[in-house]
Every structure is written in structure tokens, then in C-alpha cells.
Amino acid sequence: MPKVPLVKTITEPARDIKVCREADVVVVGGGPGGIGSAIAAARSGAKTVLIERYGHLGGMASGGLVNIFPNLSDISGKQHIFGLNQEIIDRLAARGGAFYPKKEHWGTTDRKIVDYYLNANMGNFYVRKDPNLGGQERVLYTAVVDPEMLKDELNDMVLEAGSDLLLHSWGTRPIMDGDTVKGVFFESKSGRQAILGKVVIDATGDGDIFVAAGAEFDSELSNKRRTAWLAFTFWMTNVDIKKYEDFRDSQPEKHAELTQEITKLGGYAHYIKGILDNQEGVLWYHSFQIQPESSDTHDVEELTRIDIRGRKRALITYEFLRKHVPGFEKCFIMQTAPQLGTQGGRRVIGEYILTDEDMETDEVHEDTIVVLANNDNGEISARHPTICIPYRCLVPVRVDGLLVACRAYSSTDSVSQYFNIIPPCIAYGQAAGTAAALAVDAGVQPRKVDYKALHDNLVKQGVNLPVG
């Protein structure tokens, strides 16, 4: 008999919990998936509450300092993602908080423009080789946004839509009636409270709610994929970038030597130039903490270790650069991300599981909720530049009263990484919020929502869908 380790336990006494809200739709998590869900549900007329554990909205897109909206177009430059994504970018652009290549440059092979983005170290976000053009590099429609403006704009958009908002509120458990979710318990400085809802949308990224609801999920995560890597992101400012680039270009051997040295010390050599117009002298460090084994993003002890190590390495980077590298003499760390970078983990088992095979077809599902550019799969992308995501990827099998609209959408480990980034998650949220409102209106479970009505409502909201 294998030995089962003894775990000491203690019984928590039962107690009455105050119901602080009764809503149609309760959204847990205010990242890309959550804000999409809350805005769409409220605009569709549902009484909506959004709860978020931190004091700001945006999730990784703001608090994780991961402020890049990539793959809005395919490799040819044709835009596919519209809807709320485009609305957020437009609102930010109107106040100088979004930057993207001019429309006439989407798909260009113009060397000068391609080189601009490669030089900003933003190649993997802005530039792709097009196998249909003999491997020539082309510029994509990708936007970068100011994370502070994003937080403010998202507050406005959620509240203008008519959604209720509770920040500093950590969703802990679903309220269950058999296999049906009826609301959530959450913790805050006001203590433990409950919100009742007809549909709950899990937008926690990590699937906190669906796991506790007993929904089936898949947590396979290969360490080879970026989805398994955690990150301690930070921004360095006051860098004389021109001086640094002159040094890099005029003394490549010395530069390579310093790069090796900083890496050996545990610092970070790789940066992204913050090409927002208002960010002269700022460099972004997306410093991945790659573990020999995948990190468990749900283990608080592992999160603590990674945070401590990430901070140490950020400081090593700063001290080394300031002391040894021309251009960095007056630099300092402008900010470290308030939330540790997590991007993978548990994925719900939904009524449809997206797999690698989906990238090899041009199938248009009856319940397509978004068409995404498929830019990261070389020859496959060339043959199939887009992929249709079905609504069923957001609907857990068996458990009712629940939708999942975040990076934990139903997919295999290998395919998840391509379509779990910010713009798709906003789009999943927009579809889930709309579907939840339709379900409440029709008095049916989310899995029974009329696909045609969902399609028509999304099209009315400016989402680009195949003709239904």
C-alpha cells in the first residue's frame, strides 16, 4: 500500500453569510476575460456584478505590465478582431494611450518599417515571416497600450455599461445547488459575503470557481510552452537608449561579453523598447522565471518563491546595467508589476475542446463567437490564416449556471497557448457576457442559449463573424 502523507486538518464551523448582492450575472475576475464579460452582460441588459481581487481592472494587461494586444490582424495585415477590443484601443488612442502601426502598414514588407519593430525588440509581436511570400517579413496589426490609462478606461467602461463593481474582493467558492452554480462567496476587508446570480462567469484566469464547482478540467502544462512560465515583469526608466544602442552597435564584442556576464549573475539581458509615444527612455523586461519543471501557479509557496527570486533578479539587472553599461548610468526601476505573471494552468473541459486539429481546418462552427488570426504556426498559418472559436469552448460539461471566459477556456495544452492571449480573452468575455444575458432573458441554462441569437447580438456589437 502506498503511504499517504498525513495532513493535519481542522473543521471550519458553519456560519451564516450575508448576501450583499443579487444579480443576473456575476463575473469573477476583472482581467481581459472579465471586463469583456461584465461590459457585454451589462450592455445586454443583465443586472451584472464584477468582482476583482486587486484594486484595478485589466489583469495581466495592466497589473502584469503585459500591455500588448497582438495578432489583431493575420499575416497579410487583414484585421479579424473587432468588437470590444477595437473599442478599448480606440478609446485609449483618443487620449494618447495606444500605439499601433498605421493601417496602411498592416501587412507591409517595407524593410524600414519592419526594421523599426525588430529594433524595438517587438518582432515577435509585430512581425511575421509569410511563407506565402517566400518567408518575407510582414508587419501585423498589434497595439500597445498605456497600462495606467487602461485601468482608468476600463473602470469607466464597466461602470458606464451599468455593471456593479467590487474591487479588493477575492472570489473563493461557488454557491452550489447540486451541479448548478447559484452565486459566489467572496472575501474582502468587509469579511466573507455572498453574491447570488443566475449565471456566474469564471474569468479568474486560473479557474478558481470552476474547480471548486466540481467541473472537469485539464491541467497538463508542458514546461516547453510559454504558458508554463511565470514572470516577474518590471520597467526600467531614464535610459539613454541612443547612447546604449551606439555602444551596442559600435562595440558588439564588449556588448556580447556584458550580456553573458549579466545572464550569468542571474540578471536579464532581454528587454522590449516601450514604443508608446509617451515612454521615451523606458524599457520593458518580461522576465520569465523558467523552472526545470512547470511551476504550479496555484501553489502559494511556489508563487512566494518565484516573487522573491524575480525581485532579486530585477535588482541584479538594475545594479549591473547602471554600473557597467553605457546609457544606463542614470536608470532606475520605474515599477515592478503588482501581479506576478501567470499565463497558463487549469483549463476547463468544455462541450468543445479546441485541439491542434482545429488549426488545420477552415471549419466555421454554427456557434462561432470570434474569428482569430492564426499567426504563429508557420506553414499551417499560411494554409489556414484564421480559426473559428466555438461558444462551446466556454461551456463546462455537466456543471450548469457557469461559463468560463478567460485563458482557462476549453483547449488542449498545445493549442491553448496560441489563443489565450489578451485580445481573444476579451472576445471570449464579450461572447460569454452576451450569452449569459440571453440565458437569463430566456430562462435557460447557458448551454441552451440560441446560437443564432448569440451570433446576431455579437454582430450588432461590431464583432466580426462569418455570415450566419
Ligand X SMILES: Cc1cc2nc3c(=O)[nH]c(=O)nc-3n(C[C@H](O)[C@H](O)[C@H](O)COP(=O)(O)OP(=O)(O)OC[C@H]3O[C@@H](n4cnc5c(N)ncnc54)[C@H](O)[C@@H]3O)c2cc1C
Residues found near ligand X in the complex (CB under 6 A) = 28-34, 51-54, 59-61, 64, 66, 68-70, 125, 170-171, 203-206, 208, 231, 233, 286, 341-343, 406-407, 420-422, 425
- Measured from the CB atom, the residue of 230 and 438 that comes closer to ligand X is 230
Q: Nearest Cα to 459, choosing from 373, 387, 369?
A: 369
- Measured from the CB atom, the residue of 184 and 258 that comes closer to ligand X is 184
**Minimum separation from the CB atom of position 25 to ligand X (A):** 15
C-alpha cell at 356: 491542434
- Measured from the CB atom, the residue of 326 and 341 that comes closer to ligand X is 341
Tally of CA atoms within 13 A in the half-sphere of 338 that contains its CB = 13
C-alpha cell at 13: 464551523
C-alpha cell at 333: 526601476
**Minimum separation from the CB atom of position 42 to ligand X (A):** 17
- Measured from the CB atom, the residue of 37 and 327 that comes closer to ligand X is 37
- Measured from the CB atom, the residue of 163 and 247 that comes closer to ligand X is 163
Residue nearest to ligand X (CB): 31
**Minimum separation from the CB atom of position 285 to ligand X (A):** 9
**Minimum separation from the CB atom of position 158 to ligand X (A):** 12
CA distance 416 to 70: 15
- Measured from the CB atom, the residue of 125 and 141 that comes closer to ligand X is 125
Per DSSP, helices labelled H in 137-215 are 147-161, 208-212
**Minimum separation from the CB atom of position 249 to ligand X (A):** 26
CA distance 138 to 158: 35
**Minimum separation from the CB atom of position 293 to ligand X (A):** 18
CA distance 255 to 242: 15
CB 445, CB 439: distance < 8 Å: yes
- Measured from the CB atom, the residue of 298 and 322 that comes closer to ligand X is 298
Parallel, antiparallel or unpaired: strands 368-373 and 347-348: unpaired
**Minimum separation from the CB atom of position 4 to ligand X (A):** 29
Residue 49: strand pairing partners: 26, 164
Per DSSP, helices labelled H in 44-141 are 83-94, 111-119, 123-126
